Amino acid sequence: MIEPISGFSKLQKQEKISWLAQTYLKDSPEASNILEQYWNPKKELQQLHEEFTENTISNYYLPFGIAPNFLINEKRYAIPMAIEESSVIAAASKAAKFWGENGGFQAKVINTQKIGQVHFMFEGNPEKLQRFFDQVKSTLLSSVSHLTKNMEKRGGGVLDIELKDKSAALENYFQLHCTFETKDSMGANFINTCLEKFAETLKSEAEKYTEFTPEEKDLEIVMSILSNYVPECIVRAEVSCPVENLDSPEMSGIAFAEKFVQAVKIAEIEKYRAVTHNKGIMNGIDAVVLATGNDFRAIEAGIHAYASKDGNYTSLTHASVENGIFRFWMEIPLALGTVGGLTSLHPLSKVALEILQKPSAQDLMKIVAVAGLAQNYAAVKSLITTGIQQGHMKMHLMNILNQMNASGEEKAALAAHFKTNTVTHRAVEEALQNLRNS
Ligand code: MEV
């Protein structure tokens, strides 16, 4: 068994790689070379990336692509997307083109509240705790005034603090449930700093509260942390057009619209389908969230929780046909920032935000929601017409050929061959072999 290493974080980058090579890579120079090939030759840029996190030994590239021609609320956008999956950007671009010619995407922010909680244990009389809370609420709020001053200047701050009794679900468990407005910042640091101050003030005020018994005075703070569940930070994106505009070589507009609505309804009632359906939406959302330096894990967690807010995991998008009009829409929670955090640190995120014309957080919510809706439109359209593999495997062809070290000439020949033949891993392998033998 391999012995644990101590002091790994203190080693130089090169020493970390040598240790890894000796311990896990049979001392092969190949892996070490690959790790080093991805270092940026510009020292400051490399250092910037290394300082984003700990124990960095290399950089992990993802393609940074553009889906142009998005018309959102009458404004034209080229949307930057960081994603490795083939077809995603092509699909977004196709959907953007179609909807750009059919009225464009409409998007609106419904609300922007974020949530944070102080979780604590209180062994005593809940009514007394409520009286205590009513009395100290203003002290709690003023205890963070030095932290909220700048945020208030920008129109944000702490909106409210409520005491919630959760003791029916977990003995002695209560919370301060706090709502925040963080304007153009995602606000995680702001919220967490305020919460930790609330917790400290709650504890010290409880110790002084003369009506509490010694046990009640000793309330225990368990933790203070923002919630990534943000059902009050919602954006809506929508498209609509007369059904005849949906006419395609595969079927009439009305047949397409009805089949599309069926497909969405299946995702509304069938969990196995809903998860994949929503994954397709996240292809668009994550790619823009990542390109703009936002936290895609937070967005994923919040959106999937929202997809099951009524007790059943369901489709995030919905569709209808009424009076000859096809409508397709989605409402999702998105806590995003366009200032602070990685958005202002990562050079590519800064460029992404510039490409998006320096959006406010609310603008970015709309753009990201539209990217998700467009992606879902494109995926469901393929699924109910040609099937997903036709487009997907064509795009995947280049990946397979790269894996097989095909030359430029071979790639061109096989791209032509697979215009009329089905792409499978085996078929590409055989075709390449035949080409090489001929
Ligand atoms: C693949 O990344 C995404 C899809 O599976 C989404 C869907 O099935 O709707 C194509």
Identify the band that residue 395 occupies on the pLDDT scale cut at 50, 70 and 90. Answer: confident
Parallel/antiparallel/unpaired status of strands 106-109 and 325-333: unpaired
Averaged confidence pLDDT in the chain: 96
State the catalytic residue, choosing from 184, 238, 295, 363: 295
Contact 151, 192 (CB under 8 A): no
Q: What number is the average pLDDT over the span 358-375?
A: 98
Computed on alpha carbons and rounded to an integer, the radius of gyration of the chain in Å comes to 27
Fold held by 114-226: Alpha-Beta Plaits (3.30.70)
Run of H or E including 339: none
Cα–ligand 1 centroid distance for 412 (angstroms)? 28
Cα–ligand 1 centroid distance for 13 (angstroms)? 39
% of residues, the chain, pLDDT over 70: 100
Angle at the Cα of 271 (from 109 to 334), degrees rounded to 5? 20
- 263-272 per-position pLDDT tens digit: 999 999 999 9
Closest residue CA from atom 6 of ligand 1: 280
Cα–ligand 1 centroid distance for 264 (angstroms)? 13
pLDDT at 248: 87
Parallel/antiparallel/unpaired status of strands 317-322 and 114-121: unpaired
Instruction: Classify 73-109+235-386 by CATH class.
Output: alpha beta
Dihedral class, residue 155 (left if φ above 0, else alpha if ψ from -120 to 50, else beta): left
Run of H or E including 139: helix 126-143
Q: What number is the average pLDDT over the span 383-394?
A: 82
Closest residue CA from atom 7 of ligand 1: 277
Q: What number is the average pLDDT over the span 360-381?
A: 98
85 is catalytic: yes
pLDDT at 419: 84
Cα–ligand 1 centroid distance for 280 (angstroms)? 4
For residue 331, list its beta bridge partners: 236
Phi, psi of 51 (to 5 degrees): -85, -5
Residue extent(s) of CATH 3.30.70.420 domains in the chain: 114-226
3-state secondary structure 276-289: HHHHHHHHHHHHHH
Which ligand 1 atom is at minimum distance from the Cα of 382? 10
Specify the residue for token string 């010694």: 214
List ligand 1's pocket residues with C-beta within 6 A: 85, 276-277, 279-280, 283, 379-380, 383, 388
Identify the band that residue 393 occupies on the pLDDT scale cut at 50, 70 and 90. Answer: confident
Which of 86, 279, 375, 392 to probe ligand 1 with, by most ligand atoms within 8 A of CB?
Answer: 279
- 238-279 per-position pLDDT tens digit: 999 999 999 988 899 999 999 999 999 999 999 999 999 999
Identify the band that residue 398 occupies on the pLDDT scale cut at 50, 70 and 90. Answer: confident
Identify the band that residue 421 occupies on the pLDDT scale cut at 50, 70 and 90. Answer: confident
Residue (of 383, 399, 400) closest to 280 by Cα position: 383
Cα–ligand 1 centroid distance for 274 (angstroms)? 10
State the catalytic residue, choosing from 13, 36, 50, 85: 85
Which ligand 1 atom is at minimum distance from the Cα of 376? 9
Specify the residue for token string 């995702």: 267
Parallel/antiparallel/unpaired status of strands 157-165 and 173-181: antiparallel
392 is catalytic: yes
pLDDT at 425: 87
Which ligand 1 atom is at minimum distance from the Cα of 277? 9
Tokens matching residue 19: 């240790």
Which ligand 1 atom is at minimum distance from the Cα of 281? 6
Determine the 3-state secondary structure of 179 from DSSP.
strand
For residue 310, list its beta bridge partners: none
How many other CB atoms are found less than 10 A from the CB of residue 430? Answer: 11
State the catalytic residue, choosing from 259, 279, 350, 394: 279
Residue extent(s) of CATH 3.90.770.10 domains in the chain: 73-109+235-386
Contact 375, 330 (CB under 8 A): no
